Chain A
């Protein structure tokens, strides 16, 4: 009897081993399939940017360049050096930096402030204020183009970097407020009470007590805002043109306005350059991003 049981256990063990192995291989297969699906375009972009036009015409999308040729990167960044019609990214890259840094700063700061007020200095109707702010997250960009254009016109800052900073700051506030409110809600109110008894006022409590423990959510907000603003095309193309345009608009102009032959290698290099800053931000602060999104607040 006992012998029989032992053999049947052995058989079952064998069987489950095989099933597990097969499932594992299947899992890897699916993972690799999806991974390549996502990596493929990036591969094509990088490879194409390193080829000469000659190679592009003769080879296929996937062929490896015969030699690494960084010329198109130079052209994308600094142009060819002749006068009219030569569009290149460098000035627009700095436009974008000049737009994104203050816009991220202001929207994050204002979001932190309003999150602080909405959780720690509750007032009558604060729930409604928050609800209306949330609407801002769901209003489509297109819906505010005309009123915003008019507003910028009245303020005299249309077609300028400052105008874009204002637009992005205002449009970012609903999101940043949501982030900070949800973070501060989990921080005990007793902290604020203790500080009030200790004699700290509204701003002191914010700067000395809450802000120093907000690093995780600041990182989340900065990454989110940076990505949104850097990658924005609609506001950029609507509210600016010519020299004041941010990089995404310039990229578009560059790719569409080439009068002669389409230079795929330069286009690809430009697209990569335009995407690099968000990648850098994510790589530098990405682990805090996940941590900040998932973790609650500091306890005790």
Chain B
């Protein structure tokens, strides 16, 4: 039984298709992050799960029950919003128990829940304050508390940290992670911040233009991106995508970058192709992350390339160097202790065990 299952879900606003045939499911206790640029439909999807938006096509199941026509309050979910959405006229206590009161829960049960949750979230000192008298972090805590007292099957988070400043955001992120580890409730979490997604999610679904691009573990998303969108979206700076073509003869496969002589062939035999037929002359993107370009040879497989550094960006613990590789820009990341001279030929090493290869026309991983 899946805690949440979405089948062939489509949604339009007027003539704009916001979600196209979404299929998604989550096992009990998992933490699913919906990640994507703004306007990709991730918040709409979350609102649909909550029952706040209608569906044009498809079905939403919670615990194998089709909830498409069930009211938000009866879906056994709780939601935390970006703006916290605390009721301004009520104090913290009233905010937290509002839902339970609507559900006609008994007074004893309400008190018990309130006590449990408020001490768990350390807001028991704040119960009589109004939201306007709370700091951003406290408001967020109360908003989470309001969701917790309902003891939902699924927690829905809609960019809960994006209104906080950088430091507080990291703190609250850790607290949400702790919360999930303690409670083990299923979570669906929307964000556009890849660090948040990586650190929180047990699964990440990357969305773009209303389509799920890849739904996988954080490790696979990072190391084996399904297509160039995912490769480009995740990682900072993002993955280098070098244009070029493959050359296959007998059992040797190698890559030649566009604009470089045929002699600089990068062997890609060890890459795990989905199918190794018809690869000769295939136009591709050769993907390698900036941190997988090394300053010296670390592994036996590392491939030596000649580069000229154009630009150096110092960012404290590391530096990002822009190179010119047969007229294509390539970024590499090194510790800032290494001294790199600009405009001078130098040798670098590609870690060929970490590369990704994408078809140039379909942009899919091959």
- A and B pair up: yes
Binds A, one of B77-85, B222-230, B326-334, B356-364: B77-85
Task: Give residues 69-91 of B contacting A (CB, 8 Å).
Answer: 72-73, 77-79, 81-89
Contacts of B98 on A, CB cut-off 8 Å? 195, 198, 200
User: Is B38 on the interface with A (CB-CB < 8 A)?
Assistant: no
Which among B72, B82, B158 is the interface contact of A196 at CB below 8 angstroms? Answer: B72
Q: Which of A188, A200, A204, A212 contacts B89 (CB 8 A)?
A: A212
Asked if B103 and A190 sit within 8 Å, CB to CB, the answer is no
User: Which partner residue on chain A sits nearest B136 by CB separation?
Assistant: A300
A194 adjacent to chain B (CB < 8 Å): yes
Contact with B along A186-199 (1 / 0, CB 8 A): 00101101111111
Taking CB atoms, residues of chain B closer than 8 Å to A198 are: 73, 98-99, 102, 146
Q: Which chain A residues border B81 with CB–CB below 8 Å?
A: 188, 190, 193-194
A191 surroundings in chain B (CB, below 8 A): 83, 85, 87-88
Total A residues in contact with B, Cβ cutoff 8 Å: 18
Interchain nearest-CB distance for B50 vs A (Å): 6
Least distance between A123 CB and chain B CB atoms (Å): 12
A298 CB–B CB distance under 8 Å: yes
Tell me if B8 counts as interface (CB < 8 A to partner A): no
**Residue A209 is within 8 A (CB to CB) of chain B in the complex:** yes
Residues of A within 8 A of B131 (CB): 300
Inter-chain contact B85/A193, CB cutoff 8 Å: yes
Q: A200-B98, A300-B131 are in contact. Are A193 and B52 (CB under 8 A)?
A: yes
Q: Confirm or deny: B139 has a beta carbon within 8 angstroms of a beta carbon on chain A.
A: yes
Q: A18 near B: Cβ within 8 Å?
A: no
Residues on A with C-beta less than 8 A from B84 are: 300
Contact between B73 and A197 (Cβ–Cβ < 8 Å)?
A: yes
Query: Is A213 part of the contact surface with B, judged by Cβ < 8 Å?
Result: yes
Distance in angstroms between the alpha carbons of A199 and B47 in the assembled complex: 15
User: Considering the chains assembled together, what is the distance between the CA atoms of A193 and B88 in angstroms?
Assistant: 14
Residues of B with C-beta under 8 A to A196: 52, 72-73
Cβ of B73 and Cβ of A199 under 8 Å apart? yes
- A residues near B102, Cβ cutoff 8 Å: 198-200, 204
Known: A298-B132, A300-B131, A300-B132. A197 touches B50 (CB 8 A): yes
Q: What's the minimum C-beta distance from B241 to chain A, rounded to whole angstroms? A: 38
Output the least CB separation between B42 and chain A (Å). 15
Question: Using Cβ atoms and an 8 Å threshold, which residues of chain A touch B88?
Answer: 191, 212-213, 298, 300
The interface centre, meaning the residue of A190, A193, A198, A200 with most chain B CB atoms within 10 A of its CB, is: A198
Docked Cα-Cα span, A197 to B85, in Å, equals 12
A107 CA / B78 CA spacing, docked (Å): 37
B83 in complex: contacting residue of A199, A200, A213, A300, CB < 8 Å? A300
| CB contact between B79 and one of A194, A199, A208, A209 (< 8 Å): that residue | A194
**Is A197 in contact with B132, judged by CB distance below 8 angstroms?**
no
Q: CA of A111 to CA of B171 in the docked complex: distance in angstroms?
A: 44
A197 to B76, CA, bound (A): 9
Residue pair B89, A213 in contact (C-beta under 8 Å): yes
Residue numbers in A under 8 Å from B52 (CB-CB): 193, 196-197
**In the complex, what distance in Å separates the CA atom of A194 from the CA atom of B99?**
9
Min CB distance A208 to B, Å, is: 8
**Cα separation A199 to B70 with both chains bound (whole Å):** 12
A188 contact set on B, CB distance < 8 A: 81, 83, 85
Q: Are A193 and B86 in contact (CB under 8 A)?
A: no
A199 x B85 contact (CB < 8 A): no
Question: Is B89 touching A209 in the complex (CB atoms < 8 A)?
Answer: yes
The answer on a CB contact under 8 Å between B72 and A190 is no
Question: If the complex has contacts A199-B102, A200-B102, are A300 and B86 also in contact, measured as CB distance less than 8 A?
Answer: yes
Interface residues of A (CB under 8 A from B): 188, 190-191, 193-200, 204, 208-209, 212-213, 298, 300
7 tightest A-B CB contacts, nearest first: A212-B89, A199-B102, A198-B99, A199-B73, A190-B85, A194-B85, A190-B81
Seed contacts A198-B99, A199-B99, A199-B102; 16 additional CB < 8 Å A-B pairs? A188-B83, A190-B158, A191-B85, A191-B88, A194-B81, A194-B86, A194-B87, A195-B98, A196-B52, A197-B72, A197-B73, A199-B103, A204-B102, A298-B88, A300-B83, A300-B88
11 residue pairs A–B, Cβ–Cβ below 8 Å: A190-B83, A191-B85, A196-B72, A196-B73, A197-B72, A198-B73, A199-B102, A209-B87, A213-B89, A298-B88, A300-B86
